């Protein structure tokens, strides 16, 4: 009897998690899965902006990976940071000193922020990819109102109450709309020396000619008009050329701001370099039709890390449904390989059909009772689009509890205009942080 196929999956995002779940459920396939991630949780990134704007708590959109696979005996979860891959020896190496052998490797490490060569901007303009970044943005956002309340200088008050979002994609549009709602509705009666509803200025900056460039132009125009009606200032065709603690610079124009959020660009993690794969300008791995790395049929790249194309040669977008489809495809492919491996000698080799991406639509919410949805030729806006957006996101949440909690939080916020996660947290001082792990050697 052949030994189980050892599959190592790096990354517990949408793609990696779906690949692991598909393999865990595979029947008559002898597979041992090792899922490695530097975090202990899976994060529902599409709702991360709601953590950053105090609408939801981190626990509402994140789940411990171990709990997801607690009943799957063929899945081992390891919390570690992968630093390299020895493709010849078929081993994954981690910063903690672990060496994990594999028969098949799935890289699903996703993307990180791109500051287009200005990495120093990251300190003053955090992006929105992790819970830590979301809570840091929430801290800066809420602290700006507190500091404006006690500021004696009107110019400083205006700077503190100016919030800049760089990038007009779905994250930027949703973030800008949520900021406006926080100031105009939630905080409007809670301060005495400032008027958040009247004094807050939210500026959304997009370098391209329109917001939501992946959406039909009519929906982009709708989103633009809706944000302006809410009270946001939208600057399209405007490129940020400078960024510091006091604000941003766009050519000769200076915008003084107390809080800056970066939603303008992404680049793939270093996983492609681990296996010396060919990559595009954003660092994404150029994959074969079956999502494997050319020259390495046992290594796959999925999700945002993969530069894949659909049946018509168009790039597969870096969105959650695409990552889940890739993870499901690779999981089924490896399960078929495991079954063939356990079959009698001389069994035909598994030949996989090319990955076929099915686009399920584009969605973005703008604010209360306003969203844009593109489903093929169907276009939804306003309240109907908002309801569709909400139901779709509730559906993709993991677990009954999360669906109930998020639904209740949204209903409560809709009826009362209140947000229940408005905590200003600070990093623990060095003396209270966990001691470093002992060095090996």
Mean pLDDT of 68-91: 96
Catalytic annotation, pick one of 174, 181, 267, 409: 174
Of residues 164 and 411, more confidence is placed in 164
Mean pLDDT of 171-179: 96
Place of tokens 């517990």: 12
Mean pLDDT of 46-73: 93
pLDDT of residue 405: 84
Place of tokens 């939208």: 234
Largest separation between any pair of C-alpha atoms in the chain: 82
The pLDDT tens digits of the residues spanning 341-360 come to: 877 545 555 667 899 999 98
Mean pLDDT of 218-236: 97
Q: Any bridge partners for residue 300, and if so which?
A: 106, 292
Q: Is-catalytic flag, 409?
A: no
Q: Are 315 and 308 in contact (CB under 8 A)?
A: yes
In angstroms, rounded to a whole number, what is the distance separating the alpha carbons of residues 135 and 358? 34
Mean pLDDT of 68-85: 96
Mean pLDDT of 411-440: 65
In angstroms, rounded to a whole number, what is the distance separating the alpha carbons of residues 270 and 105? 15
pTM: 0.90
Q: Are 285 and 279 in contact (CB under 8 A)?
A: yes
pLDDT of residue 2: 79
Other Cβ atoms within 10 Å of 84 Cβ, number: 15
380-400 core/surface letters (b: 16 or more CB in 10 A; e: else) = bbeeebbebbbebbeeebeee
Task: Name the DSSP class of 123.
Answer: G
Place of tokens 């959020």: 261
Other Cβ atoms within 10 Å of 146 Cβ, number: 13
pLDDT of residue 429: 62
């Amino acid at each position: 009897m052949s030994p189980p196929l050892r599959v190592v999956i790096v990354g517990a995002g949408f793609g990696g998690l779906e690949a692991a779940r598909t393999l865990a459920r595979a029947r008559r396939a002898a597979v041992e899965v090792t899922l490695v991630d530097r975090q202990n949780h899976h994060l529902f990134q599409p709702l991360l902006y709601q953590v950053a704007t105090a609408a939801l708590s981190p626990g509402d959109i994140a789940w411990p990976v171990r709990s997801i696979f607690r009943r799957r005996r063929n899945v081992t979860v390891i919390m570690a940071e992968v630093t390299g891959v020895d493709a010849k020896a078929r081993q994954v190496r981690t910063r903690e000193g672990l060496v994990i052998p594999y028969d098949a490797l799935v890289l699903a490490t996703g993307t990180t922020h791109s500051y287009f060569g200005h990495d120093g901007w990251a300190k003053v303009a955090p992006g929105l990819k992790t819970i830590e970044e979301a809570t840091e943005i929430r801290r800066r956002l809420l602290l700006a109102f507190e500091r404006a309340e006690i500021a004696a200088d009107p110019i400083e008050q205006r700077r503190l109450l100016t919030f800049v979002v760089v990038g007009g994609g779905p994250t930027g549009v949703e973030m800008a709309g949520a900021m406006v709602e926080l100031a105009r509705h939630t905080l409007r009666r809670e301060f005495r020396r400032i008027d958040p509803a009247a004094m807050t200025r939210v500026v959304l900056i997009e370098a391209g000619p329109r917001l939501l460039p992946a959406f039909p132009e009519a929906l982009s125009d709708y989103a633009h008009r809706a944000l302006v009606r809410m009270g946001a200032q939208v600057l399209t065709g405007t490129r940020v050329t400078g960024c510091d603690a006091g604000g941003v610079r766009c050519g000769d124009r200076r915008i003084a701001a107390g809080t800056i959020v970066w939603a303008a660009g992404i680049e793939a993690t270093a996983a492609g370099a681990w296996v010396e794969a060919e990559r595009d300008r954003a660092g994404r791995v150029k994959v074969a039709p079956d999502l494997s790395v050319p020259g390495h049929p046992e290594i796959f790249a999925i999700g945002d890390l993969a530069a894949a194309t659909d049946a018509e040669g168009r790039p597969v977008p870096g969105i959650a449904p695409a990552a889940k489809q890739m993870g499901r495809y690779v999981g089924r492919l490896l399960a078929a390989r495991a079954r063939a491996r356990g079959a009698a000698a001389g069994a035909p080799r598994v030949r996989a059909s090319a990955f076929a991406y099915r686009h399920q639509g584009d969605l973005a919410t703008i604010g209360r009772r306003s969203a844009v949805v593109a489903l093929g030729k169907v276009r939804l806006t306003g309240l109907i689009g908002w309801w569709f957006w909400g139901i779709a996101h509730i559906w993709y949440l993991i677990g009954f509890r999360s669906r109930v909690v998020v639904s209740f939080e949204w209903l409560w916020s809709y009826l009362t205009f209140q947000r229940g996660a408005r905590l200003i947290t600070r990093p623990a001082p060095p003396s209270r942080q966990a001691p470093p792990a002992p060095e090996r050697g």
